[in-house]
Amino acid sequence: MIEQNLKKLLEEKVTLDIEGIDRLYLNAYQPMLQTGGGVSAFFKQYRGAVVASTVLMAPMSKAFVQEIEQSAKGNNLDMVRFHKGQRKDDETKKRLKNFDRWEGMLYIGVAQEKFNSFRTTNKRNPETGASYPWLYRSTVMCNQYF
């Protein structure tokens, strides 16, 4: 009797609300690119740069973003730019209501978020006075694509 009452109580009085949307995150972790020396080696040894500088990242980033935009256009996907405080889950729920396929991409989201990255500054050799570039970590605001 207690078992039946508990079952009835759960059915009538308890609701389950799940606020979760399935997402796919593609994060690449490169241990050698986590230090200034590793970033310097990447640009000098693999990219053929004479001097390592974060300025060299811009063309790579622009090409990557261009590929994302072309992929969105080719697959008829909207690029949704999120503003500060705008909830990504709310946008996704709204779009899921009209999504009639079993699987697929809804949209590509773009949001500015804090990110730990490298920057370049100039330092001077105390003995010679010659300047040289120095890579250091800093928090930056940059676009994240998802």
117 in any annotated domain? yes
Count of structural domains within the chain: 1
* Range name among 24-38, 109-123, 132-146 with the lowest pLDDT average: 24-38
97 in any annotated domain? yes
DSSP 3-state assignment of 78? strand
Q: Indicate whether 103 pLDDT > 60.
A: yes
Structure tokens at 1: 């009797």
24 in any annotated domain? no
If you search the block for the tokens 């050799």, which residue do you land on? 125
Residue 119, domain extent: 54-146
Parallel, antiparallel, or unpaired: how do β-strands 131-145 and 107-124 relate?
A: antiparallel
Q: What is the mean pLDDT of the chain?
A: 87
Q: Indicate whether 80 pLDDT > 80.
A: yes
90 in any annotated domain? yes
CA 2 to CA 7: how far, in whole Å?
Answer: 9
Which pLDDT tens digit goes with each residue over 1-52? 555 677 787 778 777 665 555 655 666 678 888 888 999 999 999 999 998 8
CA 128 to CA 41: how far, in whole Å?
Answer: 24
15 in any annotated domain? no
User: Region 93-99: what's the mean pLDDT?
Assistant: 91
